[in-house]
A = this chain, B = another copy of it.
Amino acid sequence: MTTDCGLVGSRYVYIYTYNITTTKCSTWNIVRTVETRRVGGAGNFPSMPTPSRGRCGSMKFHTEYLTLHTKTKRAYVHLTPQVESALKKSGIKDGMILVSAMHITAGVYVNDNESGLIKDIDQWLETLAPFRQNYQHHQTGEDNGDAHLKSLIIHHEVIVPVTNGKLDFGPWQQIFYAEFDGQRDKRVIIKVMGE
């Protein structure tokens, strides 16, 4: 916004120039400049406060969807790079990221990217929630009762903190998608929320 004002009979014209820029994500920048031009007469303007730069309401949301199609029925897919990429695109410096499976036979967890441990996790989940024929869910024609229970143990989503534009993780924390009924397209939502 630029405002130019002349006062009748004054010696001066004060030209107040405000530039207010709005962006898609609601950030306002105000830059004030003031010029004084002699016109005639005695200026009688009240003093003008200086808003200088104001920052206001820069909350942003960025949502992405990944499609995963694993070759095996059960699989563990490292997702940290994709989440970091979504964060970078969002431009968010401080906030939280929701990473969530959009299915009820898959999960998302945070743990080590170590192949031995991933095998341990897979065997352990099979012990706690084994594949078997006689789940009552199978009366619907499904055969993936164990995948639902494995998903419940691992949990279907995580929240990742973001600080200074980076995943605020400890040194070994990595994000994994856990597939328990794969060999078909499955989706993950990544929602970044912050400033």
Contacts and interface: CB of A to CB of B under 8 A. Distances in A.
A136 B159 contact: no
B129 A22 contact: no
Interface in A96-151: 96, 98, 100-104, 109-112, 114, 116-117, 119-121, 124, 128-129, 135-140, 145, 148-149, 151
A81 interface: no
Contact of A136 (B1, B100, B120): B120
A60 to B, nearest CB: 9
A169 to B, nearest CB: 7
A19 to B, nearest CB: 5
Interface in A1-38: 1-10, 13-22, 26, 28, 30, 32
A84 interface: no
Nearest to A129: B124
B21 A103 contact: no
A2 B191 contact: no
A96 to B, nearest CB: 6
